[in-house]
Amino acid sequence: MKKNKQCSSGFTLIEVLLGLSIFSIIALTAYSVFSAGIKLNRGAENQGQVLREARWMLELMQNEFENMLFYDYSSTYEGKTALSGTDNSISFIKSSPTGLKVVKYYLVSADDSKVHQVLKGNTYSKNVSVLLENEKGGDTDCLIREESSFIDDLSGNSSDNEFEIIAKNIKKNGLRFFFGYLEGKIGDEIKWQEIWNDNYIASMIRVEFDLISGHDDRVITLTKDIFIPTGDLRYEEIEKKKVKYLFGNQNE
């Protein structure tokens, strides 16, 4: 009597290798999709953080610029003005519960030793505190807010000045101020200049800055025009008032 040949129930080597290959392809594809999703999510979170930081910075500047005050130094401190600024720094006067303060905004290199000594202040709840560690080093700047009392500013005493890091990861020299005024009547085009040392407050200040996204080093440029309620609107009228005042006094 013939014995029936036993049927094989196992997998051949080729089938096993084929199955492993298919599994590897599926696993690799799933990993690639998952990894890309994580990178995309991190990039979106980082960009969101950059935009939030920018919004906080602009809100702080707008609030302080809108409340800056005029003070006439001309009779006692010739050449000193209530508002002074360059293309990347600004200084102005504001009131506080403890008296008049002089506030300055300017850039400092991220690898500057001064940055590493700045502690968190009370003015800006979202500011950057403690030691700043930035991998980009000299490629980025930090926005510093410096505040001093009016008296200390006049005397040149800076020992009690308060410093805060308002924003980091600003592109090198990536902060620009422009000061606006009207040459003619209200409704005419606003004129902009990068230097302000006139003995009156500009009617508008434009803030423009470049922030670097830490994820892909992409540069995000934002611009905001801020109207200054305490600013003088018409340059020509101011000049006319000066002339009238001078000649009026001579005729008396």
Q: Count of alpha carbons within 13 Å of 200, Cβ hemisphere only?
A: 19
Rg (CA), the chain: 30
> What local confidence, expressed as pLDDT, does residue 216 receive?
65
Rounded average pLDDT over 39-49:
61
pTM over 0.85: no
User: CA-CA distance, 109 to 111, in Å (whole number)?
Assistant: 5
pLDDT at 9 over 70: no
Percent of the chain with pLDDT over 90: 33
* pLDDT tens string 100-144: 999 999 998 877 655 554 544 455 444 433 333 334 445 889 899
Mean pLDDT, all residues of the chain? 77
CA nearest neighbour of 62 among 210, 222, 182, 204? 204
Q: Please, which pLDDT band fits residue 67 given cuts at 50, 70 and 90?
A: very high
| Residue scoring higher pLDDT (135 or 54) | 54
Q: Please, which pLDDT band fits residue 11 given cuts at 50, 70 and 90?
A: low
Rounded average pLDDT over 190-213:
90
| 163: exposed, middle or buried (Cβ count in 10 Å: 0-12, 13-18, 19+) | middle
User: CA-CA distance, 122 to 139, in Å (whole number)?
Assistant: 28
